Amino acid sequence: MEKQIDMDWWVSMPKIELHAHLNGSIRDSTLLELSRDLGEKGSIVFSDVEHAILKNDRSLHEVFKLFDLIHVVTTDHKIVTRITKEVVEDFAAENVVYLELRTTPKRNDSIGMSKRSYMEAVVEGLRAVNTVEVDLGSPNLSMESPLTSSAISNLCDGTARKKIYVRLLLSLDRRETTASAMETVKLALKMRHLGVAGIDLSGNPIVGEWATFLPALQFAREQGLSITLHCGEVPNPEEIKAMLDFLPGRIGHACCFGEEEWRKLKSCKIPVEICLTSNIRTETISSIDLHHFVDLYNAQHPIVLCTDDVGVFSTTLSGEYVLASSTFGLGRSKMFHLAWNAVEFIFADDVVKKELRQIFYSAARKLDL
């Protein structure tokens, strides 16, 4: 009972999610249902997929094999729309007030899918959300109708329709070519008015070379897109150095850093997206009490707790806060302020930041923090 009450508190706390991959965040029930359908059509062997989905411990290598499987099941316009809607509704249900959702635009000629039509299906999913109001950052909307303080307090006490700010990051997969990466960046630029805020570099970290993506990332930055990089998921000092030299807006993971890399990261103050459960499940960090969260937190380095892949790693953002709190002995107030501080690292404009600060301010008073 006590545990249940505690969980309710963590769920009720407003939170910011900055590192969530769409196809890693699908509900198990949806993935099983979609796989069963494909199994009945004979396109896949359902029991193989079921086994892979329900397996709990996966090496990093197995995780990327699972993503290939998930992509077979989900790469269809209608399904992309459905999973986007569900993923946003699930984050909103646990009081994520600002979500940066990332996904890799995919081309599949056999079903007439282009990177653009894939992304249009994602945006349709955002529009289909009906449990909560979705703010996609149309400049007119956010400039002309800022939230009044009573609307913000309503948001926090649940009397108004809830609202979630959603921004999209387009991911470059490390298997892609320079030309393909450039195509994604150009697509991102065309979709800025639909909530696209930046570019992410992700995918299997043992595949591909930094130099392949550098031209597209440089172009993205010149054009005003924000950039986050998966950095140091495996030991690769040369690549880590090159990535830090690039000065991205944020990095994800930072698991396999040596002393020199920590020094550099801290002096550049690049915010780190921390995904505790993901790092433990994939064994990129050997034990939770050895996680670099502690060192970065104590050094007051900018960090934000994130989920990575709620579906694949069976976690939630509230669960990540509970895990950090219990493992590192940080109380509710400290964790609340950690979430609040994440406002400073989002890839949206100052109007959104201001509104989010007010949401946290109201919630702090309500929660007596």
Binding residues for ligand 6MZ, total number by CB under 6 A: 18
Q: Which stretch binds ligand 6MZ (CB under 6 A): 16-24, 31-39, 43-51, 89-97?
A: 16-24
171 binds ligand 6MZ (CB under 6 A): yes
Q: Which amino acid is at 179?
A: A
Question: 191, 105, 98: which is closest to 147 by C-alpha?
Answer: 98
Integer angstrom CA distances of residue 85 from 78, 127, 206, 261, 306? 11, 8, 32, 38, 19
- Residue 103 and residue 164: Cα distance in Å, rounded? 18
Residue 89 is a catalytic residue: no
Cβ–Cβ < 8 Å for 200, 228: yes
Shortest distance in whole angstroms from residue 278 CB to ligand 6MZ: 5
Q: Which stretch binds ligand 6MZ (CB under 6 A): 22-30, 37-45, 241-249, 360-368?
A: 22-30
Residue whose CB is less far from ligand 6MZ, 81 or 278: 278
Q: Which residue has the tokens 């407003």?
A: 14
Q: Which stretch binds ligand 6MZ (CB under 6 A): 17-25, 187-195, 298-306, 322-330?
A: 17-25
Shortest distance in whole angstroms from residue 302 CB to ligand 6MZ: 20
Q: Concatenated DSSP letters for 230-290?
A: EE-SS--HHHHHHHHHH--SEEEE--S--HHHHHHHHHHT--EEE-HHHHHHTTSSS-GGG
Q: Which of 230, 250, 291, 292 binds ligand 6MZ (CB under 6 A)?
A: 230
173 binds ligand 6MZ (CB under 6 A): yes
- Residue 98 and residue 143: Cα distance in Å, rounded? 17
Residue whose CB is less far from ligand 6MZ, 24 or 248: 24
**Contact track, ligand 6MZ, 191-210, x by CB under 6 A:** -----------xx-------
318 binds ligand 6MZ (CB under 6 A): no
Catalytic residue, chosen from 17, 94, 183, 233, is 233
Cβ–Cβ < 8 Å for 119, 190: no
Q: Which of 81, 104, 226, 358 binds ligand 6MZ (CB under 6 A)?
A: 104
217 binds ligand 6MZ (CB under 6 A): no
Q: Which of 81, 277, 278, 315 binds ligand 6MZ (CB under 6 A)?
A: 278
E strand or H helix at 297:
helix 293-298
Shortest distance in whole angstroms from residue 227 CB to ligand 6MZ: 15
Residue 172, helix vs strand vs coil: strand
- Residue 142 and residue 162: Cα distance in Å, rounded? 16
E strand or H helix at 33:
helix 28-40
Q: Which residues are catalytic?
A: 233
**Site residues, ligand 6MZ (CB under 6 A):** 21-24, 63, 67, 103-104, 171, 173, 202-203, 230, 233, 278, 282, 308-309
